[in-house]
Structure 1
Amino acid sequence: MAATAVPVQSRGDLVLADPASPVATVPAAPQILVPATLSTTLDSRPLDLSPLAGPLAKIAQIEAWLGTELIEREEATRVALTALLSGQHAAFIGPPGTAKSLLILLLAQAFDLSKFITLCSPHSKLEDLMGPLRLSQLPHDIYERLTNAYMPASQLVFLDEVFNLSGSLAQTTHRLMNEREFDNGNRVERAPLISVFGASNQIPQTPDSAAFLDRFSFRLWLGYVSRTNFPRLMALYANRPSSAVLRVLAHNMPIFASQHGLLTLAPPPVTLGQDELFSLMWAAAHIPIPQSILSTLDKLYDDLAGKGIYVSDRRWRQSQDALRVNALLDGRGIVTNDDIAVYTNMFWTTREQRVTIAQVVERLGNPLAVAAVDKRDQAKTAYDAAIAAQADTDLDSGRKMNATVEALGKLKETAQSLEALLAQAQQQAMNPTKIQRALDAVQGWRKELSEYVL
């Protein structure tokens, strides 16, 4: 992973190319690509990510794989990866059966990390999370726990139904989640923890659980798969053996399961090693945030405050790491307006706040996408009116035809406007995804209405 540029000045952990060069470069590094110290001042030029082409390709494969395994969970997948690569924590909230647990279980397979997974309840005890007492030490008045294979010794932690934990038990995780330290007997253990993922069926309501939610930098609401993608969901699992049956066989007939390769979870296409993960985290920590983005964050602060949404200084600081990781996952060595989208899943405490934050973030981060959604909604109104006319038994065929032709004209005009926005977004290097989705929706409505005039 040696950098190809000739270094002329050093920042301790990054080597900068000639000052006239438009990019900073990642230097040669040992097996685990993490320096002893990180620099305190970043270069303003984009970071050259080419030495990390291998790990970046793997993480892209993992993200794409999760997108095929989980319907309508692309945003949740990006949140999970961003949390992991920024060393932060994420909570996934939504009704039962929305693939919250499945997402994390699949994600855990793709990373070569020590893992701790448990189901929380109001009756969970300290030893369920931190490990049992070391009985051999009790006669010596040493109150020490066997932490191996428990939360203090794990890199990736998944707490299912996380907000079922009692307030006192949740409080014991505070130092571990924040400082990565655990008081064990008469000594302090350094914890290798990278990220804690939590899942819950509901947004916390009690003061204790709400305070616990604040330790999760990311929080995402997951609903059921839409009617549009329901056929995809059914087709995905119709082409596979029953996972419930496979699990029963694997647990009751382990030799048979091993011989026949029975898997209860789909295997990832690749596995990201620790050295690769840490090299990506190292690079992300050094991706610059331009002054233009800081100015946008000033506007975001004012807009949110104007709507009664206030965010702690700590959360604002943490959010910058999310910006950098999102840029890395998109293959960019510098933060741009597209990365502002991460704030949609960082600052809310109610679903109503999430909607408000999403609207503000989209307007500041990608105004072209906001314009596209508005145009799509206007086109949907015309489409709905035409469909209603076709279903109206009081209208004659001529009036139905006129309503459909009028709607088709509106949809054609909207499609042309969206194509122009798409070209503008590509020219300005803005994320075109929402514009493309809006265009696809309008084209689909055009095709459907065209069948009435053929």
Structure 2
Amino acid sequence: MDAALPDRSRLAALVARLEAGLLERDTAVRLALLAALAGEHVLLIGPPGTAKSELARRLHGAFAGARYFERLLTRFSTPEELFGPLSLKALEHDRYERLIDGYLPTASIAFLDEVFKANSAILNALLTLLNEREFDNGSARLHTPLISVVGATNEVPAEEALMAFHDRFLVRVPVAGVSDAAFGALLALGPPPAGPATPAAPIDGQTLREVIAQRDGVALPAAVIDALAALRAFVQSQGITVSDRRWRQLVGLLRSAALTEGRDAVDRFDLWLVPYVLAAQPAQVPALQEWFVAEIARAAPQDAPWLTRAVEAFEKQLEIELSMPAEGGDDSAGKLALARAIGGAGESGMLRVVSSALEDAMRRRWSPVHVAARLAQVDAVMQRATEPLGALRERAAALQHALDGRLWLPPSLAATLRGNLQHTIALLESLHTRLAAVREGFAAMPLDEALPQVEPEPIAIGA
């Protein structure tokens, strides 16, 4: 990695500082910082009180010398609130200029709450500011130091007039309240931490410029291009419209992620970013996440319904065959009952022997051909069950290797991927153990060489 680029440990320290005390915000934190490094804007979508503004303020602290600007927008907001008041001195000389110092045109990181409630005059000016990083102040077009705007909204707008502005936010992150699992931790939270013992060094302007300049040199392998082509077909099937510009911006974000993790090529696990770039609505995010888990990470949980049915069928058949009485019934049952009654007052060793012998006499005998057929069917299923188990263990090891050293992929997502594979492995191991027990049961059935050597019908286990 170039010396001007931030090393992974420095970025990891910044991520840790950003998410300290923010519960279940590992995804939003990483997306916000990565988007800023890539020169992109972030939209946080969720109800009030979900730490959206706190995240924007912390993001500001990740950049050296960055100025911060924050406003809550309403339909009554005026351009002066965002861009500064008119200069009276300029008006005296017939110039229409604003005093922009301390306002959005001089900010590096900005947080605009309820961003879609602004009127058209503000939105039109914001379009140029967000896209070109320029601001028209009178007759002059000024270059701004803007790194990233973090927008917040309770819901995505439906009006066609707002779609162009909505499209300016490359990364769009649904943010919800904490889950039931984290509710206790939320109640126990203390005041926000002042920061880690060793403060993370903020990122300077030169570093930002180097990330943008060098990311185009990051390779986009054919396998990733093929995955993106498959993704394009998938999003079309989901009714999601993605512009050519957004596809190219997605590739830029993927390259930024690879570059800042110290890699010279994008890989398939960088595609975890896809749901937060291509989904136009929060409701579209889960389907894209499932696509990544199943098609890219190959870590969708499996329930093995066929194998479960097979094990249950074998267990039921074994139970039936073990409970069948001996052929040509005799008075063994009465003798066994008498032996147990006598033994009830204090069973002697001899009576225990008699009782055991009578129980064995009552057991049905089976031909060797019958038992061999049962064992052969169980063995065939066990072999079929063992093959995917080995492949899954190899896949789990490969997944762990691929996840090691990842900076941007959220720990919660990594835990889900690992957990899904472990769920499938544990299920198959459990079913394999039950099959082994069934096999022992069939193998222990008493034999009678004199019985007709007839092979039984195979146990029906379905497809």
Residue 274 of structure 2 aligns to a residue in which SS?
A: helix
Structure 2 residues without counterparts, runs of 5 or longer: 307-385, 407-413, 428-463
Offset, 1:316: 0.9
Aligned residue among 196, 214, 225 for 1:294? 225
Matched, 1:90 2:72: no
> Equivalents in 1 of 2:174, 2:20: separation in Å?
20
Matched, 1:151 2:104: yes
Mapped contact 2:84–2:103 kept (Cα < 8 A): yes
> Equivalents in 1 of 2:226, 2:139: separation in Å?
48
Offset, 1:327: 1.6
> Equivalents in 2 of 1:309, 1:227: separation in Å?
31
> Equivalents in 1 of 2:273, 2:56: separation in Å?
19
**Letter in structure 1 aligned against 2:11:** I
**Letter in structure 2 aligned against 1:57:** S
Matched, 1:136 2:89: yes
C-alpha distance after superposition, 1:46-89 (max 9, x if no partner): xxx26357543211111123333211111111110121011111
**Letter in structure 2 aligned against 1:302:** A
**Letter in structure 2 aligned against 1:77:** V
C-alpha distance after superposition, 1:304-343 (max 9, x if no partner): 1122222011111111111012223433221000111111
Which residue of structure 1 lines up, in the alignment, with residue 381 of structure 2? Answer: none
> Equivalents in 1 of 2:195, 2:390: separation in Å?
41
> Equivalents in 2 of 1:354, 1:376: separation in Å?
27
Mapped contact 1:157–1:196 kept (Cα < 8 A): yes
Which residue of structure 2 lines up, in the alignment, with residue 71 of structure 1? Answer: 23
**Letter in structure 2 aligned against 1:425:** L
Report which stretch shifted further, 90-99 or 147-156: 147-156
Which residue of structure 2 lines up, in the alignment, with residue 305 of structure 1? Answer: 236
User: Identity across aligned pairs (percent)?
Assistant: 33
> Equivalents in 1 of 2:157, 2:418: separation in Å?
36
**Letter in structure 2 aligned against 1:56:** R
Residue 196 of structure 1 aligns to a residue in which SS?
A: strand
Aligned residue among 243, 248, 253 for 1:322? 253
Which residue of structure 2 lines up, in the alignment, with residue 403 of structure 1? Answer: none
> Equivalents in 1 of 2:181, 2:415: separation in Å?
18
CA RMSD in angstroms, aligned pairs only? 3.1
> Equivalents in 2 of 1:444, 1:129: separation in Å?
56
Which residue of structure 2 lines up, in the alignment, with residue 436 of structure 1? Answer: 418
**Letter in structure 2 aligned against 1:360:** W
Which residue of structure 2 lines up, in the alignment, with residue 180 of structure 1? Answer: 133
Going from structure 1 to structure 2, the CA distance change for 1:172 and 1:377 (only over 3 Å counts) comes to farther
Report which stretch shifted further, 350-359 or 155-164: 350-359
Report which stretch shifted further, 345-354 or 75-84: 345-354
Which residue of structure 1 lines up, in the alignment, with residue 58 of structure 2? Answer: 106
> Equivalents in 2 of 1:76, 1:437: separation in Å?
21
Which residue of structure 2 lines up, in the alignment, with residue 31 of structure 1? Answer: none
> Equivalents in 1 of 2:141, 2:304: separation in Å?
57
Going from structure 1 to structure 2, the CA distance change for 1:137 and 1:195 (only over 3 Å counts) comes to same
Structure 1 residues without counterparts, runs of 5 or longer: 1-48, 244-262, 379-412, 446-454
Counterparts of 1:190-339 in structure 2, within 5 Å, are: 190-235=143-188, 237-238=189-190, 240=191, 266=195, 269-274=199-204, 275-339=206-270
Residue 111 of structure 2 aligns to a residue in which SS?
A: strand
Going from structure 1 to structure 2, the CA distance change for 1:417 and 1:77 (only over 3 Å counts) comes to farther
> Equivalents in 2 of 1:173, 1:212: separation in Å?
8
Mapped contact 2:73–2:112 kept (Cα < 8 A): yes
Mapped contact 2:240–2:280 kept (Cα < 8 A): no
Report the structure number with the largest CA radius of gyration: 2
Offset, 1:440: 7.7
C-alpha distance after superposition, 1:327-361 (max 9, x if no partner): 23433221000111111101222233222222233
Going from structure 1 to structure 2, the CA distance change for 1:202 and 1:117 (only over 3 Å counts) comes to same
> Equivalents in 2 of 1:276, 1:53: separation in Å?
5
Mapped contact 1:421–1:435 kept (Cα < 8 A): no
Offset, 1:144: 0.6
TM-score normalized by the length of structure 2? 0.65
Going from structure 1 to structure 2, the CA distance change for 1:336 and 1:307 (only over 3 Å counts) comes to same
Which residue of structure 2 lines up, in the alignment, with residue 32 of structure 1? Answer: none
Mapped contact 1:60–1:329 kept (Cα < 8 A): no
> Equivalents in 2 of 1:77, 1:444: separation in Å?
33
Question: Aligned pair count?
Answer: 336
Counterparts of 1:110-121 in structure 2, within 5 Å, are: 110-112=62-64, 113-121=66-74
Offset, 1:444: 12
Residue 43 of structure 2 aligns to a residue in which SS?
A: strand
Counterparts of 1:390-401 in structure 2, within 5 Å, are: none
Which residue of structure 2 lines up, in the alignment, with residue 344 of structure 1? Answer: 275
> Equivalents in 1 of 2:297, 2:119: separation in Å?
41
Offset, 1:177: 0.9
> Equivalents in 2 of 1:428, 1:166: separation in Å?
47
